[in-house]
Amino acid sequence: MMKIVSGNSNKPLAEAIAAYLGLPPVKAVVKRFNDMEVFVEIQENVRGQDMFIVQSTSFPTNDHLMELLIITDALRRASAKRITAVIPYFGYARQDRKPGPRTPISSKLVANIITRAGADRVLTLDLHAGQIQGFFDIPTDNLFSGPVFVRDIKHHNNLSNTIVVSPDIGGVVRARALAKRLDVPLAIVDKRRERAGESEVMNIIGEVAGKSCILIDDIVDSGGTLANAADALVAKGAVDVTAYITHGVLSGGAVARITSSKLKSLVITDSIQPTEAVRVAKNIRVISVATLIGEAIGRTSREESVSSLFE
Ligand code: R5P
């Protein structure tokens, strides 16, 4: 039988997933000792069960990663039949290659640790780079928020005047897939990052004048990429600019940057639990991936196809 356990990173999402599956979340304590060590106690029998741990490795990333590892260890020692780490937002994904000599590939290290802790499978969403799937030597499903975004975009936009825009060259494959699903054209912001931590918009490839632009990306962190892309698109005559971004990391002054930017709205998913500042921001809206992830969990447990969710 499948069972859902939640860490502390995103309890509302875990509860919504459990509700979709019609299951009560497993009774468990995931707390800190005084020195901030993580302590876990699973408070019901899980022997022989098909366990799904819902835990995004979002801020504070290392604490949430450690919770995931220790819950996995607890379940393994409690004789769970199979353990799936459901990681809606996989932190450390941006460290997926060596940007220079003597730097780590932290995504691979984190994948190794999760596997070593005892996870049998991984279920994640919009990985920063598809090849990170291969960093895990256990079955790893990478879900796409595409269908959730397409539904919302169709509901809120007149597609006859819409163009999908990739905010940088690295995101073209993702944006092209969405443009194809919506049957609208594609434009690209050719961004050059002159110094680490800064982003500079150089050029727009494609015709955006008179169009409603929809920026697509996997992560919004500082918000710099989006704010600069919105400036560049408006300067080229775009009617308005909306962004659909899967993971709202939104660190530092990101919410203020988004609020004061030229973005009409930013739509993110609840892969990361939204802060109060995000919830009250006037141009940020959160849509849920609970049904998508819940359906994928149900199918995994019943040994049914997950890829058919995206056909
Ligand atoms: C970069 O490769 C990612 O896809 C995002 O574009 C980036 O992480 C966004 O970061 P920021 O919001 O800090 O510009």
Nearest one of 142, 177, 152, 126 to 243, comparing CA atoms: 152
Look up the pTM and report it. 0.95
Nearest one of 302, 306, 290, 305 to 1, comparing CA atoms: 302
Q: Tell how far the Cα of 94 is from the centroid of ligand 1, in angstroms.
A: 9
Domain spans of the chain? Answer: 2-144+291-310, 146-288
Question: Does pLDDT of 194 surpass 90?
Answer: no
Question: Quick one: pLDDT band at residue 184, thresholds 50, 70, 90?
Answer: very high
- Give yes or no for a contact between 96 and 30, defined as CB atoms under 8 angstroms apart: no
The closest-lying atom of ligand 1 relative to the alpha carbon of residue 199 is: 14
Alpha-carbon distance of 188 to 216, in angstroms, equals 10
136 residue type, one letter:
F
Average pLDDT over residues 64-76: 98
Question: Quick one: pLDDT band at residue 300, thresholds 50, 70, 90?
Answer: very high
**Average pLDDT across the chain, whole number:** 96
Per-residue pLDDT tens over the stretch 196-224: 666 565 699 999 999 999 999 999 999 99
213 strand-pairing partners: 163, 241
Question: Quick one: pLDDT band at residue 49, thresholds 50, 70, 90?
Answer: very high
Best residue for ligand 1 mutational test, from 217, 263, 268 (most atoms within 8 Å of Cβ): 217
Per-residue pLDDT tens over the stretch 280-294: 999 999 999 999 999
CA-atom Rg of the chain in angstroms = 20
The pLDDT score that the predictor gives to residue 116 is: 98
Question: Quick one: pLDDT band at residue 227, thresholds 50, 70, 90?
Answer: very high
Domain 146-288 has CATH 3.40.50.2020: yes
- Give yes or no for a contact between 262 and 234, defined as CB atoms under 8 angstroms apart: yes
The pLDDT score that the predictor gives to residue 151 is: 97
Q: Tell how far the Cα of 170 is from the centroid of ligand 1, in angstroms.
A: 10
Average pLDDT over residues 66-75: 98
Question: Quick one: pLDDT band at residue 311, thresholds 50, 70, 90?
Answer: confident
CB atoms within 10 A of CB 271: 28
Ligand 1, pocket residues at CB < 6 Å: 167-168, 170-171, 199, 217-225
The closest-lying atom of ligand 1 relative to the alpha carbon of residue 218 is: 4
Same fold, 2-144+291-310 and 146-288: yes
At residue 252, φ and ψ (nearest 5 deg) are: 55, -130
Which residues contact residue 27 at a Cβ distance below 8 angstroms, ignoring those fewer than 6 apart?
42, 43, 44
Q: Which comes out higher in pLDDT, residue 86 or 190?
A: 86
The pLDDT score that the predictor gives to residue 93 is: 97
Tokens (6 digits) for 262? 């030229």
Question: Quick one: pLDDT band at residue 67, thresholds 50, 70, 90?
Answer: very high
The pLDDT score that the predictor gives to residue 13 is: 98
Q: In the CATH hierarchy, which top-level class contains the domain 2-144+291-310?
A: alpha beta
